[in-house]
Amino acid sequence: MGKAGWDDEYDAVVAGSGAGAMAGALTAASNGLRTAVLEKTALLGGTSAYSGSAIWLPGTQVQERAGIGDSSEGARTYLRALLGDGSAAHREAFLATAPELVEFLEKDPAIEFEWRPFPDYFAAPGRLDLGRSFVPLDLPAERLGELAGLVRPPVDRDRAGRGHSASKPMMQGRALIGRLLLAITATGNGAVRTETPLTDLIVEDGRVAGVEAGGLRLRAKRGVLLAAGGFESSAALRSERGVPGGAAWTMAPAGANTGDAIAAAVRAGASTGLLDQAWFCPGSLMPDGRAAFTLGFRGGLIVDGSGRRFANESLPYDQMGRRMAAAEGPFHLIFDARSRGLPAISVPPLMPDEQLASGAWVEAATLPELAARIGLPGDVLAGTVARFNGFAGKGTDEDFHRGEDPYDLYFTGGEPAVVAVDEPPYVAAKIVLSDLGTKGGLRTDPDGRVLDGADRPIAGLYAAGNTSASFTGPVYPGPGIPIGSAMAFAYRAVQDMRR
Ligand code: FAD
C-alpha cells in the first residue's frame, strides 16, 4: 500500500466496461490521464458487447458521409417532440457533443463507423424513416491479438460458456468494445483490470477521492466515472423499485449488473431517479428459463392471458414491452407452418426442437387444441385468429394498425406486416417481458456530474449509461440511444474531469 493508504493511483477511474465506460476511458487515456478500467467480471463489454451496437449520435460526420441528410437540428426536433423540454439541458449537451465525440473517436486508427438503416422508433417530427444510427465496422479478431479473449462473446456463445467463433470477425457490440479496447491500449495510459468489482467510493474532504475495488484502494485524482450498468440482474432491487419483467429474463450477462455502483454512490450522498424504468422488449422464453430478445416480427400475433391481441406486434420493442407491462399475461406468440420457425428475429437464436421439447413452445394441429394446451378458451383464441386473418385478407389491421408505420415494414422485406395464420400445425411460443437493462439510476447534470439530494454535484463523481437516470425518461426514441447517450455523457464527464 502506498504512503497515503492507496494501492495504486490513477487520474481517472472508470467502473464498468460497456460502451460508455470504454468511451470515457479512451477520452481520458488519450488526453494523457492515467486511467483504470475496473470490470467486475472476467470479461469486458457487459450488455454493450451483446448488443447490435447501433449508435444514435445525430448530426455527425458518419451520417454526412452516408449522405442521409441528418442534422442536429432534425434530431432536436425529434427529441423535443418525444421528450418535451423537461430534459432540455441534457438534450442540448447530447446534441452538441455527438459530432465532436464521433470526430474524436474516428481520429483513432482503431475506430471506424458506418451508417446502417434502422428506422427511428416514433412517428414524430424530425424522424428519419431509415434512421440516423450507425455501427462500428467488423473487427478481425487478429487485430486484437490476445486481447480478443477479454471481450465478452455474443450472447448465445457466452451463455453456453463458449468463446468467440474462430472463423468470424468480431461484429456489432464485440467490434465496438474490441475497437475501444484497442484504442485504449494503444494510448499506453489505460490499465484494464478485470475481476475487480467496485464495492465502495472513498470520500475525502467532501470529494470522491478514489474507490474500493477487488479488495484494493485505488486513488482517482481527477474523478471516478461510474458506468457499470443498471440493476437489471438484481431480483431484490427490481421488486423494491417496481421494475416489471424479471432478473432471470433480462438480457444483461447473468449476475453482472446488480446496481453496485448506484448503491455505492447513494452511500456517498447521490440522488437517484427513474428507478422503475428499463429499456424493455419482448423476450422468447428459452429452455433454461432465460429470455431471447425478440423483435422484427414478420408474422404471427401475440395474445394476452385472455387469448386476445392487445397491441401492434410490430411496435418497436420497448413500446411493445410497455404494452405487455400494462396488460395481463401470460403472453403467447401464435404462428403457423407458413413462417417456417419463429416469424421474428431473436437474440440469441432459438432452436425449434429444443423450444418444443422444453414446453416453451407448444404445437397443435388445430387452434382449439393449441388453446387447450396453453390454458386458453378455444373459442376465444380461434376468434382472435379469425379476426386477425380477416385483417390479413383486407390488408388493414383495424384493431392495432400493424403495418401502417415504416418501422413495421422494415423487417418484412416489403411484404405485408399482417399475414394470415392458417397453415397447421400451429405453434404457441411463450413470450415474457424482457429488457436490455434498467435505465434509472444516479441523477446527473449535463456534464455527467452526479447530483446530491439538493442538486449539487458531488465533487469527483460522474456517471453514464445505465448507472445514470437516462435523459430520455420512459421513452426509447430510436436504435442506439442507450449506447449513444452512454458514450456522449461519458465523454462529457471526462472533459469535465480535465478542466
Ligand atoms: P453494460 O454494457 O452492461 O456494462 C456494464 C458493465 O459493468 C458490465 O461489464 C458489468 O459486468 C460491469 N459491472 C457491473 N457492476 C460492476 C462493479 N461493481 N464494478 C465494476 N464493473 C461492474 N443499445 C443500443 O444503443 N444499440 C443497440 O444496437 C443495442 N442492441 C442491443 C442488442 C441486444 C441483444 C441487447 C441485449 C441490448 C442491446 N442494446 C442496444 C442495449 C444496450 O446494449 C445496453 O442498454 C447498454 O449497452 C448498457 O450499457 P452500460 O454501459 O450501461 O452497461
Per-residue pLDDT tens for 321-360? 999 999 999 999 999 999 889 999 999 999 999 999 999 9
Alpha helices in 233-366 (DSSP H): 235-241, 260-267, 317-326, 352-358
Using one digit for the tens of pLDDT, what is the confidence trace for 39-54? Answer: 999 999 999 999 999 9
pLDDT in tens, 186-203: 999 999 999 999 999 999
Strand 301-303 relative to strand 457-463, pairing: unpaired
Atom of ligand 1 nearest to the CA of 155: 34
Q: What angle do CA 26, 29, 30 make, to 5 degrees?
A: 80
DSSP letters spanning 3-26:
TTS-SEEEEEEEE--SHHHHHHHH
Q: Which of 250, 472, 483, 485 is the best mutation target for the ligand 1 pocket, counting ligand atoms within 8 Å of the beta carbon and taking the most?
A: 483
pLDDT in tens, 237-260: 999 999 999 999 999 999 999 999
Give the closest residue (by CA) to ligand 1 atom 50: 229
Instruction: Report the alpha-carbon angle 75-81-82, nearest 5.
Output: 95
Whether the predicted pLDDT of 160 surpasses 90: yes
* 119-144 per-position pLDDT tens digit: 999 999 999 989 999 999 999 999 99
Residues 17 and 40: beta-carbon distance below 8 Å: no
pLDDT in tens, 44-101: 999 999 999 999 999 999 999 999 999 999 999 999 999 999 999 999 999 999 999 9
C-beta separation of 363 from 352 below 8 A: no
| Rounded Cα–Cα distance for residues 73 and 96 (Å) | 10
Residue having the nearest C-alpha atom to atom 35 of ligand 1: 51
Helix (H, G, I), strand (E, B) or coil at 360: coil
Q: How far is the CA of 154 from the centre of ligand 1 (A)?
A: 13
From start to end of 381-469, where are the E strands? 426-438, 441-442, 449-451, 457-463
Atom 41 in ligand 1: residue holding the nearest Cα: 436
Choose among 467, 437, 468: nearest CA to 317. Answer: 437
- Ligand 1 neighbours by CB, cut-off 6 Å: 15-21, 38-41, 46-48, 50-54, 155, 197-198, 227-229, 251-252, 256-257, 260-261, 279, 293, 347, 436-437, 465-466, 479-483, 486
The whole-chain average pLDDT of the chain stands at 97
Residue 224: pLDDT over 60: yes
Give dist(CA 427, CA 67) in Å, integer. 43
User: Which are the contacts of 281, defined by CB distance < 8 A and separation ≥ 6?
Assistant: 251, 293, 294, 295, 317, 318, 320, 321, 434, 435, 436
Longest dimension (CA), the chain: 78
Q: What ligand 1 atom has the least distance to the C-alpha of 52?
A: 28
User: Closest ligand 1 atom to the C-alpha of 467?
Assistant: 52
Nearest CA to ligand 1 atom 42: 48
Helix (H, G, I), strand (E, B), or coil: what is residue 436?
strand
d(CA 68, CA 57): 13
- Distance from C-alpha of 464 to C-alpha of 458, rounded to nearest angstrom: 14
> Average pLDDT, stretch 304-333?
98
Alpha-carbon span 246 to 236, nearest angstrom:
10
* CA–CA distance, 195 with 152 (Å, rounded to integer): 13
| pLDDT above 90: residue 4 | no
Pocket test for ligand 1, best of 47, 262, 277 (most atoms within 8 A of CB): 47
Nearest-CA residue for atom 40 of ligand 1 = 51
Query: Residue 465: helix, strand or coil by DSSP?
Result: helix
Q: What are phi and psi of 231, to 5 degrees?
A: -125, 30
* Residues 10, 36 contacting (CB under 8 angstroms): yes
Strand 441-442 and strand 426-438: the pairing is unpaired
How many whole angstroms from 15 Cα to the centroid of ligand 1?
Answer: 12
pLDDT tens figures, 361-392 = 999 999 999 999 999 999 999 999 999 999 99
Question: Do 464 and 441 touch, CB atoms closer than 8 A?
Answer: no
The DSSP secondary-structure symbol of 321 reads: H
> Which amino acid residue places its CA nearest to atom 9 of ligand 1?
46
**CA of residue 159 to ligand 1 center, whole Å:** 15
The mean pLDDT of 14-34, rounded to a whole number, is 98
Q: What is the pTM of this model?
A: 0.98
Task: Record the cell numbers describing residue 202, joined without a space.
Answer: 472513498
Q: Whose CA is nearest to atom 51 of ligand 1?
A: 18
Q: Ligand 1 pocket: which of 14, 48, 151, 280 to mutate (most atoms <8 Å of CB)?
A: 48
Runs of H (alpha helix) within 31-171: 46-50, 61-66, 72-83, 88-107, 155-159
The C-alpha cell at 242 is 417496481
Calpha distance 277→438 (Å, rounded): 6
Q: Which three cell numbers stand for residue 325?
A: 407491462
Q: What is the pLDDT of residue 388?
A: 98
Distance separating alpha carbons of residues 369 and 471, to the nearest angstrom: 47
Containing 409, the helix (H) or strand (E) segment is helix 406-410
Q: Percent of the chain scored above 90 by pLDDT?
A: 97
**pLDDT of 414 above 90:** no
CA distances from 46 to 41, 163, 168, 186 (A): 9, 14, 20, 22
Residue 479 CA: nearest ligand 1 atom is: 26
The single residue listed with the C-alpha cell 499506453 is 188
Atom of ligand 1 nearest to the CA of 20: 51
* Whether pLDDT at 2 is above 80: no
| Distance in angstroms (rounded) separating the CA atoms of residues 141 and 147 | 9
Ligand 1 atom at minimal distance to the Cα of residue 279: 45
Query: How many of the other CB atoms lie within 10 Å of CB of 185?
Result: 18
CA of 99: how far to CAs of 70, 82, 237, 469, in Å? 11, 21, 36, 23
Before 425, cis peptide (omega within 30)? yes
- Report the nearest-CA residue for atom 26 of ligand 1: 480
Cell numbers 474516428 correspond to 106
pLDDT at 84: 98
| pLDDT over 70 (residue 394) | yes
**What pLDDT shows up at residue 3?**
47
The answer to whether the CB of 287 falls within 8 A of the CB of 376 is no
β partners of residue 134: 55, 115
Mean pLDDT of 273-302: 98
User: Ligand 1 centre from 495 Cα, in Å?
Assistant: 22
Closest ligand 1 atom number to CA of residue 49: 2
